[in-house]
């Protein structure tokens, strides 16, 4: 997987467009709405998605900055030496 996208669910529309755009550029993306199957352990799936991706893309939005889950994902990515790219909604 090329890019793990970290985002708030409230920004799903924006992220789906971004994921489509990256796909058009030939990059594969991991988005939790598509990467977690029903019944799977959520946090284990998130960690696996981060570890299997080359790039951790962090969507900076008002909703995302308030989410403790996104902060946990960012910390996990940092602890595992992932290349982190931030993208702002504006």
Predicted confidence (pLDDT) per residue in 35-84, tens digit: 556 566 778 888 999 999 999 999 998 888 888 899 999 999 999 999 99
* 54 secondary structure, DSSP code: S
Domain range spanning residue 32?
3-88
Residue with tokens 């799903």: 12
Could you give the number of structural domains in the chain?
1
- pLDDT tier at 89, thresholds 50, 70, 90: confident
pLDDT at 21 over 60: yes
Which CATH number fits the domain that encloses residue 26? 3.40.50.10140
The whole-number pLDDT of residue 88 equals: 87
The whole-number pLDDT of residue 24 equals: 96
Q: Could you report how far apart the first and last alpha carbons of the chain are, in Å?
A: 26
* Beta-carbon-side half-sphere exposure of residue 43 (alpha carbons within 13 Å): 7
The whole-number pLDDT of residue 63 equals: 84
Q: What pTM did the predictor assign? A: 0.87
The whole-number pLDDT of residue 51 equals: 96
Give the helix/strand (H/E) hosting 5: strand 3-6
- How many Å apart are CA 7 and CA 58, to the nearest integer? 7
């Amino acid at each position: 997987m090329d890019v793990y996208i970290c985002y708030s669910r409230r920004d799903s529309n924006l992220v789906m467009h971004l994921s489509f755009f990256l796909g058009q550029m030939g990059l594969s993306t991991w988005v939790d709405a598509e990467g977690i199957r029903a019944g799977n352990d959520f946090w284990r799936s998130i960690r696996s998605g981060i570890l299997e991706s080359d790039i951790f893309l962090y969507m900076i939005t008002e909703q995302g900055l308030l989410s403790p889950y996104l902060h946990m994902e960012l910390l996990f990515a940092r602890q595992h030496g992932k290349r982190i790219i931030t993208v702002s909604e504006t």
